[in-house]
């Protein structure tokens, strides 16, 4: 191989004449061996060396995932939004199949009890899912860092469960779908937490009044699920605030489990009474 100082031929291809030098090492390089740099050209060896020494940049996706897992990031809120969006896409792709098997019909409680939970992930329209996910985005990002990820997930699921139980109690002949019960559960807990921490709750009261009013006025909106989710969410928020101390964490878990057991018991009694009638 020839160096640039000894001839005007490419050091990698001696049969090719060139007058271009690598800006790093000074060797002659032909067009095939030239890599455009900020100034001039680099030879293949210098490019390889520079790449090996350069600090490795994390991809944007990796950085986003790490930020999502950082302490205080509302990972559960974003995960619930992603799951709901994915399920809504499946609804669109599969027609009525996913909607049918995930929607809660009180008359089928004994046969399909899981739908009391899965119904919160299916929606009837784009506007429906957009409004619910916007509410989850706004209030979830505010509440989740305060109470913690695991507690927020429990709150969301119990709120949705409470909404389904309320539908079974108050309107058992209908079907229900949507995250409204879970969203109102967040509303209820947010109100209680805000009050206990000394925040101004007037705006929250107005928001609750407006949303509850819409449920009673607009046809096709399940106000029963709203009320059920709100009551359960308020109860969960009250438990969380009363058991904030580290020494009370065991009692907190027992009380939250008691809420789930209580809702299950109400479901069994209510469905049994409905069947007997």
- 240-251 as b/e, with b when 16 or more CB fall inside 10 Å? beebeeeeeeee
123 carries an active-site annotation: no
Under a CB-based contact definition with an 8 Å cutoff, are residues 122 and 88 in contact?
yes
Q: Name residues whose C-beta falls within 8 Å of residue 80's C-beta, 6 or more positions apart in sequence.
A: 136, 140, 153, 156
Residue (of 142, 136, 141, 175) closest to 159 by Cα position? 136
Catalytic residue among 42, 123, 128, 226: 226
Q: Which of 180, 201, 222, 273 is flagged as catalytic? A: 180
Sign of CA dihedral 132, 99, 161, 85: negative
Q: Are 173 and 161 in contact (CB under 8 A)?
A: no
- 125 assigned to active site: no
Please give the positions annotated as active site.
180, 226
């Amino acid at each position: 191989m020839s160096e640039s100082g000894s001839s005007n031929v490419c050091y990698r291809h001696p049969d090719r004449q060139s007058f271009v030098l690598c800006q790093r090492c000074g060797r002659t390089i032909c067009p095939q061996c030239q890599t455009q740099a900020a100034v001039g050209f680099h030879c293949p060896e210098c490019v390889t060396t520079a790449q090996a020494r350069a600090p490795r940049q994390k991809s944007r996706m990796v950085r986003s995932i790490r930020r999502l897992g950082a302490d205080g990031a509302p990972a559960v809120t974003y995960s619930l939004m992603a799951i709901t969006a994915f399920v809504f896409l499946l609804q669109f792709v599969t027609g009525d199949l996913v909607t049918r098997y995930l929607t809660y019909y009180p008359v089928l409680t004994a046969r399909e009890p899981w739908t009391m939970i899965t119904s919160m992930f299916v929606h009837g329209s784009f506007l429906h899912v957009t409004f619910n996910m916007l509410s989850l985005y706004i209030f979830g990002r505010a509440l989740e860092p305060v109470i913690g990820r695991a507690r927020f997930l429990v709150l969301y699921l119990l709120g949705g469960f409470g909404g389904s139980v309320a539908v079974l109690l108050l309107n058992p002949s209908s079907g229900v779908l949507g995250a409204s019960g879970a969203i109102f559960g967040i509303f209820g807990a947010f109100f209680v937490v805000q009050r206990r921490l000394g925040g101004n709750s007037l705006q929250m009261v107005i928001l609750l009044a407006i949303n509850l009013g819409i449920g009673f006025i607009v046809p096709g909106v399940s106000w029963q699920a709203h009320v059920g989710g709100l009551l359960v969410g308020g109860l969960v928020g009250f438990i969380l605030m009363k058991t904030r101390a580290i020494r009370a964490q065991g009692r907190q878990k027992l009380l939250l489990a008691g809420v789930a057991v209580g809702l299950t018991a109400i479901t069994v009694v209510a469905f049994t009474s409905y069947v007997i009638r």
